[in-house]
Structure 1
Amino acid sequence: MLQGRTEAAAFSVLEYLASEAPAQQFEDLVEEARLRGTTGEELERLERLKQLGLSIRSQSKRRQQREAGLSALVDTARDLAMPYDLDTLLKVITRRARLLLGVDMSYISFPDAQQGYIYVRTSDGHTSTLSVGLRLPDGAGLGSSVLANPAPFWTPDYLSDERIAHNQAIDETVRAEGLHAIMGVPLSHRNHPFGVLYVADRNVRHFTTDEIALMSSLGDLAGVAIEKAQLLDQTSATVTDLEQHTTEAEVGLRLATELSELHTRLIDLALSGGDPHSLTREVCKRLGGAIRVYAADGTVLTSASDMPERDENSVVLAAMDAHATRGPVRLADGTWAAPVSAGTVGLGTLFLRTDSPLADRGEQLTRVVAQAVAIPLLLENSRTAIAVGHVRDELLDELLANPQRPPQQLMLRARRLGIDLGKPHVVVVARPEGEAQGKVATWASLYAHRMSGLKRVQDGLAVLLLPGTDPSAAARAVTEELTPLLGHPVTVSAAGPALDPTSVFHGHQEALRCLDAMTALGATGRSASARELGFFGVLLADNHDVDGFVDSTIGPVLDYDQQRFTELARTLNAYFETGNSPTYAAQKLHVHTNTVARRLERISELLGPDWQKPERAFEIQLALRLSRIRQVLLDRREVPDDGAAGEHRV
């Protein structure tokens, strides 16, 4: 009887297992037997059957869950094998992880070693502050443990887990999301972790070994997929760069071909007798835009199409920049300026502006056109101009050399070049207070050509020999023109006028000493002549022009005394010797004070109202003393000795 009941109970357990009955039915089977009064060995057998049934049921359910997880993992692997870009792939991974384990959220973080923090790259299922771009401090939290020891790390309740190195910022984020259970697995590339995949639940949850193993497998698959996506992104970027470079190379090759064809056409046209006009028209015909060529002296040689007019200063400044760099320069309005030259001699300046695709190669294009324009200029008159330019430079070098050639030879050579050294010339020396020697050389050539003079540029100094009689005015003119063009101060000295080749040399030496004196006096960035330096000019000059200094300082007073037989100069002496006192001066002269007062008024009319200012008064006193000494020496030379006097009397 007992055997039959046990068999019936065994069949019932098998039926429960086959129908996947809930665990409560296994419990009810034993409870019903106990209510029927079953005890002893039979009840123990029934209890044993229940336990076996529940164990089989649990193993079967676990096996089903594992199979479902593996199936989902296979689907995930198939999904991750699709060619996603990196951002899309990360979204797929987080969504799959959340669904695979049935959690509330998932996210992926990457460390930034240089910045020292961990940032969330993507997330799924978040509701508050945990979002893409969130930065978390490195060295704390669950992710740091995963990266430090590449292995899964999980906790059923994050905030209460003391194994974790907590950080206030991370704890506040977890608290704001309401998270409890968190698990992280490493994302690795060839055993080197580069990120962490997290799953998190808002309930306290103990992750099973199967769930941990499933997440580890997903992490491995995700790491491989991310590596593939990154490689794909890099490959795509490389392909894009190559395509762009290929396109640029094709465009560059086409432009280079067009530029070469234009160069060949212009050179052929120039060598076949084409003049600058035909060349500029050909350029505008092929490229559009406008072109203009200026000669070395600033006059317009040729112009094609509608080139805006430029003032003289802007033309000179652009020419200086182009010739100084010996190549094309781009101006503020987009126009290119290039030197038209033969060797080191400038023939002019070319201005070019075009809207052609070749405008992207404006420097090469302008250089090609300038070279072509230089050919007809060279064939027409440049050889003569170059020869004359060298001869003119050599003439000034010989005028400034020591010892000089015979003056007659220099005068003859100068007349052949259209320069009359018998007429007054002034020597001007200009020194830029900055790095602009190349620009100064170009400007000096243009200025000397315009002023019918000579130039030399050496050791940072521009030396000009210009027609004229006023060195001070010449120095000021150079300063006023050159300083704005260079954009920084220029110290200019001048001397003269020179009336012969020898005086040119002495004028140059005097101008150099004047320049040194201005530097010593702190007058850099100014202009002056030896004459303007007053008695300093007398000391600096080779010929020590005392007469000129005296005449320019007190000449009107001396002339007045000579013409009217007055004593204004003597009154001046007495006035200064008595400490500028009219009363004491009257006593010394034995005249009335009113007489001295009237004489001083006349002096003011002759010398100007500022003659008593300290600097002017000093020069007047020096001129008075020089005048007295000169007169004493002249009087001595005119007095004969005793023998001569006796012979004269006889």
Structure 2
Amino acid sequence: MLELLVAEAPADRYEKVVSDARADGAGPERLAELERARDLSLRIRDLFERRRQREAGLVALVDTVRDLTLPYTLDTLLKVIVRRTRLLFGVDMSWVALYDPQQDGSVVRAADGQASAITVGFRVPMVGGLGLRAMKEAGPFSTSDYLVDETFTHSEEIDAVVRAEGLRSMMAVPLQRDNEVSGVLYAAGRSVRHFGPDEISLMVSLADLVSVAIEKARLLDGTRREIAELAEDTLRERGSSQLAQQLRSIHSRLIDLVLAGSDLQVLTAEAAELLGGPLSVRDPAGRELAAAGVLPQSTVADDVAAAALDAHAERRPVRAAGGLWVAPAAAGEEMLGTLVLAPPEETEEHHVQLLGMVAQCIAILLLMQRSAAVADGQARDELLRDLITGSPSALEQVAERARRLSLDLDEPHVVVAVRPEGGIQGRALVWASAYAHRHRGLRTLAGDCLVFLLPGTDPGAASAALSKELSSVLGRRVTAGSSGPAECPAAVVTTYQEARRCLDAVVALGGIGSTASPQELGFLGLLLSENPNTGDFISHTIGAVLDYDNLQRTELARTLEEYFASGGSPTYAAERLHVHPNTVSRRLERITELLGEKWQEPAQALEVQLALQLHRTRRVLQRGPDRRRADRTSG
């Protein structure tokens, strides 16, 4: 028996020794002694075999540990783990499932030896199965035949997968660290197998090592991500630094062109080449000063104009409709010009930054070319401010100041006072400067109003056009009062005061968003006027009737007087005129044709009566001196 142990003979050789002794006729005591020696030898042999298996398992475990210490990513590490597990335990299949909080369950992250059902990404139901039992008990659990074992709760979905893979024996060990289970490691075979205590113990040791390795891999992955982010930030900063250096170099080159005396066209062409697209430089009125390339035909002037106001108000390039970029060229609040760029298809941030730098350089050039114009703009504001305040020094020096500004204040001008709803903001100021420049006028800020002095003789038309355009630009209602014309500098202050009174009257009457001049306010405008012009009021109100009477030798004006005197009764008016009522009716129809359908409405009827009264008074006053002269002559 000892010789067989030394020779590591198979188990049937020990049984042969006893069989040979029995065949040789050995006695009962001898056979009993041999059988006991055989049993002891087989037990020793099994002990040696288990020891060899344990040593082999430990060696394999050490090799696995060596593999786990390598700097794998988490996914690669899990593949190594399931591969090593399958080889270490000699099973048909091994997989690992980790808990995923987003899916509120475990998800298979790696598998080895699978046929089809258990694949990466498979969600393990948390309603039964060997893994759930292992997680709940926080310890290993095994079965020799999964589908027929009733010692744990089954799940139909898991049973279907096990059946599809053809698995029978299975062992599951939880992956836990600091008393927290993060997943389960599985080993399974396609035949019935009883996992011994040594195998289960080895599986537990492997699971502990795997938990540490997974934690290390996760930390390593996090470190890799942080390093990658730091590398990206470094590259980004390096790129930003290089871009900033490049932009500074371009800016210096453009400034050198300006200081070298290059004209606007040369600077625009150089900038367009740097920006990679057609570029147009325009003055405050929207007229093109220089261009390089051709802008798209789909460019809408109104969209560009609206974007230009936003760009000047915000002091930065803005994107207009159609993909165009609009940048302001300004000096303080003075609007020197606008840049319109059709950028390349892929517009990056540095294109916008470069456009802003180009706008600054062009603004410097425009400022150098139009330094007198900048001073002119400030002088214009100061001149109008002095004129509307009635400054004596302004009136004394107005001729010289106007000459320097190329203004002729002896020509007729109207004053418009504008009050936008919601107050005056940067966009309104930018627009006001451009509007005044476009119409060869002056503008200034007086309290909560924008005040304009514009060439012309029709204050109503001027205020209507200005209010309409500003309302469209701001998207809010604009109220305006106007007066004029003023035909000398000294008359500007009274004209301004009349315009302000008209504006206040419109607001008081609830006409927010409307415009009015003294002529449009009728008799109220006559009262608000600094120098009431009754002749204009009479002509505006009943001039058509008076002219008809003079041409046709009719008595329409007298008919109107008698009509109002009789309380609006054609019959009584006919009695007072000693004519037939039909005659009065025909005259009233003619008056309606001349004055319009609304002349009998209360407001207009009042003005008609006032005009008739003023006309009668003027005739009496005019006849008075003539009679007195006639009396003196006859005497």
User: Do they fold alike, i.e. is TM over 0.5?
Assistant: yes
Q: Does 1:452 align with 2:452?
A: no
CA distance in 2, matches of 1:560, 1:173: 108
Out of 353, 357, 373, the position equivalent to 1:364 is: 353
Q: Which residue of 2 is the match for residue 507 of structure 1?
A: 498
CA distance in 2, matches of 1:259, 1:339: 18
2:564 and 2:609 in contact (8 A); partners too: no
Cα deviation, residue 186, structure 1: 3.4
Deviations 1:269-298 (A, max 9, x none): 433444434434554576765544333444
Q: Does 1:319 align with 2:303?
A: no
Q: Does 1:498 align with 2:485?
A: yes
Q: Does 1:428 align with 2:428?
A: no
CA distance in 2, matches of 1:497, 1:140: 94
Q: Which residue of 2 is the match for residue 345 of structure 1?
A: 334
2:479 and 2:503 in contact (8 A); partners too: no
CA distance in 1, matches of 2:250, 2:595: 70
One-letter amino acid of the structure 2 residue matched with residue 618 of structure 1:
P
CA distance in 2, matches of 1:313, 1:398: 35
CA distance in 1, matches of 2:155, 2:528: 84
SS at 1:119 equivalent: strand
Out of 133, 144, 150, the position equivalent to 2:121 is: 133
Cα deviation, residue 538, structure 1: 6.4
Alignment of 1:424-573 (within 5 A): 424-432=412-420, 437-457=425-445, 461-486=449-474, 488-499=475-486, 500-513=491-504, 516-517=507-508, 520-521=510-511, 524=513, 531-532=519-520, 551-561=539-549, 564=552, 566-568=554-556
2:417 and 2:500 in contact (8 A); partners too: no
Out of 15, 18, 21, the position equivalent to 2:8 is: 18
Structure 2 gaps of 5+ residues are none
Cα deviation, residue 432, structure 1: 4.9
Deviations 1:404-446 (A, max 9, x none): 5488447546633343444433333445557982222222111
Cα deviation, residue 252, structure 1: 3.3
Larger displacement relative to structure 2 (160-169 or 123-132): 160-169
Out of 101, 106, 110, the position equivalent to 1:118 is: 106
Q: Which residue of 1 is the match for residue 603 of structure 2?
A: 619
Alignment of 1:165-176 (within 5 A): none
For the structure 1 residues 274 and 634, does the alpha-carbon distance in structure 2 shift closer, same or farther, using more than 3 Å as the test?
A: closer
CA distance in 2, matches of 1:407, 1:11: 135
CA distance in 1, matches of 2:559, 2:315: 65
Cα deviation, residue 448, structure 1: 0.5
Alignment of 1:4-83 (within 5 A): 14=4, 18-22=8-12, 26=15, 29=18, 44-45=32-33, 47-83=35-71
One-letter amino acid of the structure 2 residue matched with residue 18 of structure 1:
E
One-letter amino acid of the structure 1 residue matched with residue 603 of structure 2:
E
Alignment of 1:250-265 (within 5 A): 250-265=238-253
Out of 89, 97, 108, the position equivalent to 1:109 is: 97
Deviations 1:54-108 (A, max 9, x none): 4234323323332333343334334444544332322222233234334443322
1:399 and 1:505 in contact (8 A); partners too: no
Alignment of 1:410-425 (within 5 A): 412=399, 415-416=402-403, 417-425=405-413
Q: Which residue of 1 is the match for residue 198 of structure 2?
A: 210
1:116 and 1:137 in contact (8 A); partners too: no
CA distance in 2, matches of 1:458, 1:297: 24
Alignment of 1:213-252 (within 5 A): 213-252=201-240
One-letter amino acid of the structure 2 residue matched with residue 438 of structure 1:
G
For the structure 1 residues 226 and 602, does the alpha-carbon distance in structure 2 shift closer, same or farther, using more than 3 Å as the test?
A: same
For the structure 1 residues 93 and 498, does the alpha-carbon distance in structure 2 shift closer, same or farther, using more than 3 Å as the test?
A: same
One-letter amino acid of the structure 2 residue matched with residue 218 of structure 1:
L
2:549 and 2:556 in contact (8 A); partners too: yes
SS at 2:11 equivalent: coil
Deviations 1:117-137 (A, max 9, x none): 332223334455543223356
2:100 and 2:107 in contact (8 A); partners too: yes
Cα deviation, residue 449, structure 1: 0.5
Larger displacement relative to structure 2 (476-485 or 302-311): 302-311
Deviations 1:164-200 (A, max 9, x none): 6777766666676666654332335677543322234
One-letter amino acid of the structure 2 residue matched with residue 19 of structure 1:
A
One-letter amino acid of the structure 1 residue matched with residue 439 of structure 2:
M
CA distance in 2, matches of 1:590, 1:433: 56
One-letter amino acid of the structure 1 residue matched with residue 501 of structure 2:
E
One-letter amino acid of the structure 1 residue matched with residue 362 of structure 2:
V
One-letter amino acid of the structure 2 residue matched with residue 317 of structure 1:
A
Cα deviation, residue 324, structure 1: 1.2
CA distance in 2, matches of 1:276, 1:564: 66
CA distance in 2, matches of 1:152, 1:435: 78
CA distance in 2, matches of 1:160, 1:338: 79
For the structure 1 residues 219 and 611, does the alpha-carbon distance in structure 2 shift closer, same or farther, using more than 3 Å as the test?
A: same
Q: Which residue of 2 is the match for residue 4 of structure 1?
A: none
For the structure 1 residues 581 and 188, does the alpha-carbon distance in structure 2 shift closer, same or farther, using more than 3 Å as the test?
A: farther
Q: Does 1:196 align with 2:184?
A: yes
One-letter amino acid of the structure 2 residue matched with residue 95 of structure 1:
R
1:425 and 1:466 in contact (8 A); partners too: yes
2:471 and 2:478 in contact (8 A); partners too: no
Deviations 1:559-581 (A, max 9, x none): 43465564545656787899988
1:530 and 1:541 in contact (8 A); partners too: yes
TM (norm. structure 2) is 0.79
Out of 75, 81, 87, the position equivalent to 1:87 is: 75
CA distance in 2, matches of 1:80, 1:424: 96
TM (norm. structure 1) is 0.77
Alignment of 1:150-189 (within 5 A): 150-155=138-143, 181-188=169-176
For the structure 1 residues 532 and 633, does the alpha-carbon distance in structure 2 shift closer, same or farther, using more than 3 Å as the test?
A: closer
2:21 and 2:31 in contact (8 A); partners too: no
Larger displacement relative to structure 2 (156-165 or 76-85): 156-165
CA distance in 1, matches of 2:331, 2:575: 78
Structure 1 gaps of 5+ residues are 1-9
CA distance in 2, matches of 1:28, 1:547: 153
1:428 and 1:511 in contact (8 A); partners too: no
One-letter amino acid of the structure 1 residue matched with residue 305 of structure 2:
V
For the structure 1 residues 205 and 412, does the alpha-carbon distance in structure 2 shift closer, same or farther, using more than 3 Å as the test?
A: same
Larger displacement relative to structure 2 (298-307 or 527-536): 527-536
For the structure 1 residues 102 and 503, does the alpha-carbon distance in structure 2 shift closer, same or farther, using more than 3 Å as the test?
A: same
SS at 1:18 equivalent: coil
1:316 and 1:443 in contact (8 A); partners too: no
For the structure 1 residues 64 and 432, does the alpha-carbon distance in structure 2 shift closer, same or farther, using more than 3 Å as the test?
A: farther
For the structure 1 residues 631 and 251, does the alpha-carbon distance in structure 2 shift closer, same or farther, using more than 3 Å as the test?
A: closer
CA distance in 2, matches of 1:396, 1:160: 103
2:304 and 2:320 in contact (8 A); partners too: no
2:383 and 2:394 in contact (8 A); partners too: no
Q: How many pairs were matched up?
A: 623
